[in-house]
Amino acid sequence: MLRFWKERFKTGIVTENPEIDKELEEIKKNLKDKVKKLFAGSLAIRMVDSGSCNACEAECNALSNPYYDLERLGIHFVASPRHADILLVSGVMTANMYHHVWDAYNQVPSPKWVITLGDCAKDLGVFEKTYAIKGVDLPVDYHIPGCPPTPKDIMQGLIEFLKKIEINKEK
Amino acid sequence: MRLIARFAQENENNFEIIDVFDIEIKKTKIDKNNPVTSTLTNKYPAAIWMERKIRDEFGINFEGCVDTRPLVKHERFPKNIYPMRKNFQKIDIEFGEFEPYEYEEVKGEGVFYVPVGPIHAGIIEPGHFQFSQAGEDMLHLEVRHFYKYRSIEKMCENKKPLEIKKIIERISGNESIAYQIAFFNILAKSAGIELNESFKNKSAILLEMERIIHHLTDLGFIPNDAGFAPALAFMSRLSEDARRTLAKVTGHRFGFGAINEEMKYDFSEIFKFINYLEEKINFFENWIIDIPSLWDRFDTTGGLSHEKAQRYGVVGVAARSSGVAIDTRNNQWYKNRGFEIQVRQKGEVSDRFLLRIAEIKNSIQIIRNCKTDSNEKIEFKEFNDGEFHSFVESSIGELFMYIKLKDGVIDRFYVRDPSHINWQAFHTAIYKDIIADFPLINKSFDLSYAGNDL
């Protein structure tokens, strides 16, 4: 374990690394402020995969690695739709997932928002319509494009989404 | 003989069942008016899903197959349609009546059932597990998948070969490069050309990078599921570094579109990265070996016996850690570049964990020995009709792809993802364990849902 502590002190906190790019630093600050203002510092997201290739999920998992560490900004990926503010949907929405995704949507307490993630969730991306694909027909509030969107894209997308609901709130 | 795949295709006058074994390929012709053939499930248990899929999609029945439940057609999927037949061209289906699925269950006093999925608690692909439990002990597990069934096989039909490239890249995000290489092998066979050394070297580097990323992610998640989060922090950082390196070289974090005719990449970033990785992985190994409470969870958990692995024809990491030495890289070309097959014996979580570390180290050696200085382009002029297949060792295991070209377009596209076999053997690895160990076992196999469901 001593070896580990040595390594740990040598590494420091990756998110506070000065070498990390300024752009990401800006995004993080923005995101944290918005979450604090609109969701009292705690935003819960339930991610549902409705038939993606797993790249979108991998990128969402990457959001909790030491470089991005989304939890620190007050954003949590939660285990149940009943704990969620936002339903984050990726993939083409297959016929076999159709009712399950709608089930999850219905379980999210109001007020709720739906964000689609990745090109598949909108216009199927490179895939074509087959009998096994239904396509996303949820009431979508915001779309984050990309195939897959990088963790930075997802964070930027969340900021844009929060900006959008901020404007709606003021109206 | 090991069964690799069993699938069907429709010809003008008949159906054809193609059985791919490791030493031969058998074809059986079946009458269209009375589509019945015999089952292989008595000898090869892994044929069950393949036969159920064929029955669902083609309406071919298998005499003697004990399991006749639908596989890809879920509760509300219309029952009387056979979508993979040529005369089925509808792209919209109406949902049918809800027909409950009968799960395999162990019955008895005090036995209860734990359904998990299809939407899981974490950020993970959808699939369903039904456990029969007596207290904490798992008596039985049924794995039910195909929630992500997008019908990629049908989607690729009637298209020119190069038109489906983008779809193939995105069948399974974790194995994208392996899928692309399999596809290019087939294209080369069809065009009657030999893939040049420059292509082989460069694609091998990218394939090993993909394997490294996949293994690094698992090496973090497995200890995390045993409650040891520092390993996840350490490894998820490394896998992010690896992904960024891949993005620097190919322009995409998952390598979508990375395998192409030119591949004019500057690989210096990768060579720099593997030196850094080697140091980190040695540190990780020394560190993790020193944590007894972790090995307490890893050892004796999730044992897949050598016999079971052979009986099911398991491939990839799961096979190699159970003493079955299968690796499609086991040839002279790879051996010249420092490939050594990694095999462990007991097939427990600890074996699969350590095997991944060993494979990463070996991948580093392979990358070092690949030459990247030459730049030869590949040119596909025209594609000849015929049936072609290819094997590639993806990060999960042996990937089999089959394409039949007719009149210049794809007549049948079939892929057997390594997960398709391994998922079926997966339930045999849980019987000695309690349900709390399940996430650990699941992660140590780390199988794909998207590639399996197609």
Residue B197 has pLDDT above 70, yes or no: yes
- What is residue B128's predicted lDDT score, i.e. its pLDDT? 92
Confidence of residue A16 (pLDDT cuts 50, 70, 90): low
- What is residue B356's predicted lDDT score, i.e. its pLDDT? 92
d(CA B6, CA B411): 17
pLDDT in tens, B387-425: 999 999 999 999 999 999 988 899 999 999 999 999 999
Strands B36-38 and B61-63: parallel
* Facing A65 at nearest CB: one of B167, B172, B237: B237
Confidence of residue A18 (pLDDT cuts 50, 70, 90): low
- What is residue B219's predicted lDDT score, i.e. its pLDDT? 92
Determine the straight-line distance between the first and last CA of chain B, rounded to whole angstroms. 26
pLDDT in tens, B343-353: 998 889 999 99
Confidence of residue A157 (pLDDT cuts 50, 70, 90): very high
- Asked if B184 contacts B202 with a C-beta cutoff of 8 angstroms, the reply is no
d(CA B246, CA B83): 38
Which one of B75, B88, B119, B221 makes the best mutation probe of the A interface by having the most chain A beta carbons within 10 Å? B119
> Is the CB of A50 less than 8 angstroms away from the CB of B240?
no
- What is residue B302's predicted lDDT score, i.e. its pLDDT? 87
- What is residue A12's predicted lDDT score, i.e. its pLDDT? 78
Q: For chain B, which domains are there? A: 1-98 (no CATH), 153-453 (1.10.645.10)
A99: chain B residues, CB-CB within 8 Å? 76
Confidence of residue A106 (pLDDT cuts 50, 70, 90): very high
What is the distance in angstroms between the Cα of A40 and the nearest Cα belonging to chain B? 24
> Is the CB of A3 less than 8 angstroms away from the CB of B122?
no
B173: chain A residues, CB-CB within 8 Å? 52-58, 148
> Is the CB of B173 less than 8 angstroms away from the CB of A53?
yes
Residue A4 has pLDDT above 70, yes or no: yes
B167: chain A residues, CB-CB within 8 Å? 126-128
Confidence of residue B198 (pLDDT cuts 50, 70, 90): confident
User: What phi-psi label fits residue A133: left (phi over 0), alpha (psi between -120 and 50 degrees) or beta?
Assistant: beta
- Asked if B375 contacts B426 with a C-beta cutoff of 8 angstroms, the reply is no
Residue B282 has pLDDT above 70, yes or no: yes
Stretch B89-100: mean pLDDT, rounded? 86
* Facing A49 at nearest CB: one of B126, B233, B448: B126
d(CA B193, CA B383): 10
Share of chain B above pLDDT 90, in %: 32
- What is residue B99's predicted lDDT score, i.e. its pLDDT? 87
- What is residue B413's predicted lDDT score, i.e. its pLDDT? 92
Q: Residue B229: CB partners within 8 Å, gap ≥ 6?
A: none
* Facing B93 at nearest CB: one of A48, A65, A95: A95
d(CA B359, CA B348): 16
- What is residue A19's predicted lDDT score, i.e. its pLDDT? 61
Q: For chain A, which domains are there? A: 41-170 (3.40.50.12280)
Confidence of residue A38 (pLDDT cuts 50, 70, 90): confident
- Taking Cα atoms as reference points, which of B123, B155, B174 lies closest to residue A125? B155
Which residue carries 């000849």 as its tokens? B384
- What is residue B104's predicted lDDT score, i.e. its pLDDT? 87
pLDDT in tens, B360-390: 999 999 999 888 888 888 888 888 888 999 9
The DSSP call for residue B5 is: E
pTM value > 0.80:
yes
What is the distance in angstroms between the Cα of A165 and the nearest Cα belonging to chain B? 25
pLDDT in tens, B158-177: 888 888 988 999 998 889 99
Residue A24 has pLDDT above 90, yes or no: no
Q: Write the CA distances from B173 to A59, A64, B158, B203, B205, integer angstroms.
A: 11, 19, 24, 17, 18
What is the distance in angstroms between the Cα of A166 and the nearest Cα belonging to chain B? 27
- ipTM of this complex > 0.90? no
- What is residue A25's predicted lDDT score, i.e. its pLDDT? 83
pLDDT in tens, A139-148: 999 999 988 9
- Asked if B103 contacts B178 with a C-beta cutoff of 8 angstroms, the reply is no
d(CA B104, CA B119): 20
> Is the CB of A3 less than 8 angstroms away from the CB of B283?
yes
d(CA B128, CA B442): 12
> Is the CB of B151 less than 8 angstroms away from the CB of A66?
no
Enter the tokens of residue B404: 């039949």
Residue A114 has pLDDT above 90, yes or no: yes
- What is residue B454's predicted lDDT score, i.e. its pLDDT? 85
Q: Which long-range contacts (C-beta less than 8 Å, at least 24 apart) are formed by B195-200?
A: B195/B378, B196/B376, B196/B378, B197/B371, B197/B374, B197/B376, B198/B263, B198/B372, B198/B374, B198/B375, B198/B376, B199/B263, B199/B376, B199/B378, B200/B333
Which one of A59, A96, A134 makes the best mutation probe of the B interface by having the most chain B beta carbons within 10 Å? A96
> Is the CB of B147 less than 8 angstroms away from the CB of A55?
no
pLDDT in tens, B301-357: 888 989 989 899 999 999 999 999 888 888 899 999 889 998 998 889 999 999 999
> Is the CB of B171 less than 8 angstroms away from the CB of A64?
no
Stretch B100-113: mean pLDDT, rounded? 89
What is the distance in angstroms between the Cα of B325 and the nearest Cα belonging to chain A? 28
- What is residue A17's predicted lDDT score, i.e. its pLDDT? 64
pLDDT in tens, B243-254: 999 999 998 999
Which one of B95, B159, B170 makes the best mutation probe of the A interface by having the most chain A beta carbons within 10 Å? B170
* Facing A58 at nearest CB: one of B92, B146, B173: B173
A133: chain B residues, CB-CB within 8 Å? 150-151
What is the distance in angstroms between the Cα of A144 and the nearest Cα belonging to chain B? 17
